[in-house]
Amino acid sequence: MKEEGKKMMTKTERIDAVLSGQKPDRDPISCWYHFGTQYLPGEKYADIVFSFYEYYGFDWLKVMNDYFYPMPVGYDALKSVEDLKQLKPIEIDATPLHEQLTAIDIINNRLKGEAYVCDTIFDPYQSLQKSPVGEYLPRLMKEEPQAVLDALEIVTQNTIEYAKRTLALGTHGIFMSILSGEDKISKQDFLVFEKPFAMKVFAAVKEMGPMNTAHLHGKHIDIDECLDFPVAVLSWEDRQVGNPSLQEVKRKWSGAVMGGIDNTIMTRRTPEFLMKHTLEGIEMGGKSRFFLANGCSSPAEMDTYALKAIVDVAQQRR
């Protein structure tokens, strides 16, 4: 129940309190999942995202981004050194990423400053892995590491350009997914092919995004290797076995943490269980420097009643 006489903060005041290390009136909450709408134009995607935000009443909006990094013209795979050289600076407005920027612009204009918006991007390594290089990436990393590093540099510069574009539209932060767990990438490869390029992206937009967030993706994360990302927030699946807890990271990290809800159980438990689980997450997060959220993307088949119950109990409506 709400405390009598306690002043309710606005959504932006609540976020600002968390980012500044102050105690908010309650922990802000948001959740997200992949809509599978990457075949749609940005205008239609904006309608879907905005209705999602309004229906659940989240405290901030993380906009998913399923528009893939573009393939070089005339290629269906990049599997050699010569192929990798086809990666060039891109004209963003001539790629599917233009649709995401269109959606972001519409969403920011509709919100009119009511809530913070974060745009999802993937680190340069994942941009190569998800489609252009795909299954050939492990072999090329082993046999032609310099060619891969050169390719990553090109993708990094394109990613920086995209990040600057979305932040210039009024977005409050980039939420960048970074492969960090040992189940996703070895520590050596993380330090050579992953982290340096993610660092460059964050460093380039450090002053532009007050809510820039590093999402550490995977299990068995070496958190000590991730504490120097120049961001305001760290996000990860804190409730997965083998990953650091919220409390552990807060002892080592001066910024805010994001998590508390186990996304892997959100379609396998009753609303009653999930509400108790959410309250446990709130206790784990503490009274400051904490954003309540799913550790990673929730299943898209999430029961609307269950997700609404999670949000309501977090916002003290149940």
Rounded to whole angstroms, the Cα distance separating 143 from 256 reads: 39
What amino acid occupies position 140?
A: L
Say how many residues make up the chain.
318
Q: What are phi and psi of 291, to 5 degrees?
A: -110, 125
Rounded to whole angstroms, the Cα distance separating 202 from 157 reads: 12
pLDDT in tens, 221-252: 999 999 999 999 999 999 999 999 999 999 99
**Where residue 3 falls among pLDDT bands split at 50, 70, 90?**
very low
What's the pLDDT at 7? 84
What amino acid occupies position 168?
A: A
Say if residue 4's pLDDT is above 70.
Answer: no
Q: Measure the CA angle with vertex 241, ends 239 and 244; round to 5°.
A: 65
pLDDT in tens, 92-122: 999 999 999 999 999 999 999 999 999 999 9
Rounded to whole angstroms, the Cα distance separating 183 from 181 reads: 5
Mean pLDDT of 203-209: 97
Percent of the chain, pLDDT > 70? 98
pLDDT in tens, 165-197: 999 999 999 999 999 999 999 999 999 999 999
The answer to whether the predicted template modeling score (pTM) of the entire model surpasses 0.85 is yes
Say if residue 317's pLDDT is above 60.
Answer: yes
What's the pLDDT at 6? 65
